Amino acid sequence: MSKKTHIFKAEIQQVLDLVIHSLYSKKEIFLRELLSNASDAIDRAQYLGLTDKTIVADAPVWKIDIIADKEDRTLVIADNGVGMSEEELDKNLGVIASSGTKAFAEALKAKAQANVPELIGQFGVGFYSAFMVAESVTVISLKRGEGQKAVKWTSAGDGTYSLEEAARDKPGTTVSLKLREGMEEYLDAWRVQELVKKYSNFIACPIRFGEKGEAPKEDAEPLNTMKALWKRSKSEITEEEYSEFYTHLSHDHHPPLKTIHLSAEGAVEFKALLFLPKEAGFDMLMPNKKHGLHLYVRNVFIGAEFDLLLPEYLRFVKGVVDSSDLPLNVSREMLQDDAVIRKIRSSLTGKILGTLAEMMKDKPEEYAAFYTSFGRVLKEGVHSDWENADKLKNLLLFRSAKSEGNKLISLKEYVAAMPETQKDIYFLVSEDLDTVRHSPHIEAVAQRGYDVLFFVDAIDQWVVDSLREFEGKKLVAVDKGNLELGTDEEKVESKKKLEAAAGDYQALTAYIKERLKDEVGEVRLSPRLTESACCLVADEHAMNASMERLMRAMNQDVPKQLRTLELNPDHALLKRMKAMFETAPENPKLADYVELLYGQALLGEGSALKNPQRFTRLVADLMAGA
């Protein structure tokens, strides 16, 4: 066969420029691409050899050799895989010069993954990344099987390539790069080893290194570990191996709390090895810290911190995903709307939430410890992941008024313990557990034997908007709106009692409202107080005091809200004020009492007093007078 020179189509140079300058941000990626092609060639040879013994007649020991020659400035990647014929070399190495080149170039420009062809295992885009570091590339290949001849492909990336007959003793492919000046780092043993461990550590056959243009010795130590744990059967892997891999992946020197080893088959095939940490590291507190899984395609490393594979609220999960259904030449932008990624994400999310549910059921103490570290992050999903909202609700834990020793309880446990007369789930949002335990808002609820959930994490302020019901039970805030308790008959009786008392206190409540007209929107008698004299209540759909304080702490402009001041008509203080008003409505002490009453309400909800010095003076005067 004589040497033949071929001219690429007009678009090929444009595609080469895109590959070199746009598709890959780091030149080092070329080695990943070439090693991936070599690994794929070996995989295909092994597969074909299952049915055609002539393919593996030489009983090869599968291997990939990297050979550096500093004097000649050449880097060689050689495999003993399936090899290529002249027709296949022309087709595979010219694939991006086919009729689809223009569409491919436009797809790359637009980063439209839907139009980017699958090029794993083909000497296409990945192969041309070699020109990022090489001034010329030579490929010599001998296809496995009887009657095949070796062929050489050569190009300087200048718009032409040549094909001619070559000499090669054994099947496989050798890619020789004549490196550009300034690219000598890729001839250093340490640099090559670094890149192999970074990108191709889990390729299943040995990758060996030789220098001075000589092939590595047969007993040379492989550069890669060849230990793709996620590809192995669970029964073959020890806890020590899982723990060692987790430490390597996460830099967490504690063993993982839970290991999830998943192999998915069907519409989308992938393998995953995921870990749930025992404790939250400092990285969870860093606002700009990237999180995500390591993504591999056919054992080849694509990227770390790949956040598209899991929703943000599962960012504490560490691990690896390996898919054979994704293209190797991917970027985050390309996969933003990729259907395969969405299916993998959905499967992984479901598996993780299912694992947490099992832990919660079978090992509640272990789950409670996990939840203490990661519950705040997990709660974000209730607000953002509607698809899994019900699963997430079942995973939530809260402290409550009746839980002993600050024990965390689930919504399911709360509902199971509800008395027959209780129809709703009651909760109170605050920043502080001690404040919420002594809140006047829970008095009447607690007196009836009903429990109150305490939402004391900052995230609870937002979660509660999405947590409207559970198992048909409405969630009701005890510090907002009109609170009605008990059976229908009891609600009617309570309403009649308040209406009767309201008539008796009408003049006093009007006086108090006038004195506090700049601070409260309404003054009324309360159905929620049994021991305290007063409390402040927000409208049903308004911010409560805790949310207001949080927003202001975040320097948000929060308009002033006039809440309702509720009074306990059975409290001795209110009875005394009523008597004073009826006998001496102009008594200045009465105005002081109103001010003290409002101050008590502010303190009871955890809010700051507007004038602490005046409040303390009024209390001191009252004590001195007593």
Give the per-residue pLDDT at 94: 56
pLDDT tens digits, 332-381: 556 666 788 889 999 999 999 999 999 999 999 999 999 999 999 999 99
**Predicted pLDDT of residue 117:** 28
Tell me the CATH number for domain 488-625.
Answer: 1.20.120.790
Reported as a single tens digit per residue, the pLDDT across 351-362 is 999 999 999 999
Total Cβ atoms within 10 A of residue 2: 6
C-alpha 322/C-alpha 230 separation (Å) is: 8
Question: Rounded to an integer, what distance in angstroms lies between the CA atom of residue 624 and that of residue 626?
Answer: 5
Least confident piece of the model among 205-209, 295-299, 410-414? 295-299
Q: What is the pLDDT of residues 141-161, one digit of tens each?
A: 999 988 899 999 998 877 788
CA atoms in the 13 A half-sphere facing the CB of 47: 7
d(CA 512, CA 581): 10
pLDDT band, residue 288 (cuts 50/70/90): low
Who's near 519: CB < 8 A, 6+ residues apart?
562, 598
**Looking at 39-43, 324-328, 440-444, which range is the least confident one?**
324-328
Q: How far is CA 480 from CA 424, 533, 542, in A?
A: 14, 17, 8
| Gap between the Cα atoms of 532 and 604, Å rounded | 9
In the prediction, which pLDDT does 171 show?
A: 95
Q: What is the pLDDT of residue 89?
A: 86
Question: Is residue 7 over pLDDT 80?
Answer: no
Q: Are 252 and 347 contacting, i.e. CB atoms less than 8 angstroms apart? A: no
DSSP secondary-structure letter at 281?
-
The tokens describing 515, both together, are: 């004195």
The Cα 271–Cα 232 span in angstroms is 10
Q: Could you tell me which residue, 102 or 504, shows the higher pLDDT?
A: 504
Q: Find all residues with CB under 8 Å of 424, minimum gap 6, and list them.
A: 473, 474, 475, 476
Amino acid found at 318? K
Superfamily of domain covering 4-210:
Histidine kinase-like ATPase, C-terminal domain (3.30.565.10)
Which band of pLDDT confidence, cut at 50, 70 and 90, is reported for residue 23? Answer: low
What distance in Å separates the CA atoms of residue 73 and residue 71, rounded to the nearest whole number?
5
Determine the pLDDT at residue 328: 61
Longest dimension (CA), the chain: 121
Same-fold call for 4-210 versus 229-358: no
CA pair distance 462, 470, nearest whole angstrom: 17
Residue spans per domain, the chain: 4-210, 229-358, 488-625
Q: Is the pLDDT of residue 559 over 50?
A: yes
Neighbouring CB atoms inside 10 A of 557's CB total: 6
Residue 219 DSSP class:
T
Going by C-alpha positions, the residue among 85, 83, 96 that lies closest to residue 37 is: 83
Terminus-to-terminus CA distance in the chain, angstroms? 117
Whole-number pLDDT of residue 22: 54
| Spatial separation of the C-alpha atoms in residues 42 and 80, rounded to whole Å | 7
What pLDDT score does 110 carry?
Answer: 47
With a cut of 80, say whether residue 584 has pLDDT above it.
Answer: yes
Q: What are the DSSP calls for 45-69, one per residue?
A: HHHHHTT-GGGGTT-----EEEEEE
What does the pLDDT average to over 386-411? 93
Phi, psi of 417 (to 5 degrees): -95, 0
Give the per-residue pLDDT at 283: 59
Q: Is the pLDDT of residue 382 over 80?
A: yes
Q: What is the pLDDT of residues 242-263, one digit of tens each?
A: 988 888 788 777 899 999 999 9
Let me know: does 329 contact 23? Beta carbons within 8 Å. Answer: yes
Cβ atoms within 10 Å, residue 284:
16
CATH architecture assigned to 229-358: 2-Layer Sandwich (3.30)
**CB-neighbour burial class of residue 585 (10 A; exposed 0-12, middle 13-18, buried 19+):** exposed
Alpha-carbon span 303 to 296, nearest angstrom = 7
* Residues 580, 606 contacting (CB under 8 angstroms): no
141 burial level (CB within 10 Å; 0-12, 13-18, 19+): buried
pLDDT for 285: 52
Average of per-residue pLDDT values in the chain: 85
Indicate if the pLDDT at residue 112 is higher than 70.
no
pTM over 0.75? The answer is: no
The DSSP code sequence of 492-525 is: HHHHHHHHHHHHHTHHHHHHHHHHTTTTEEEEEE
d(CA 239, CA 234): 10
Task: For 518-532, write each residue's pLDDT tens digit.
Answer: 999 999 999 999 999
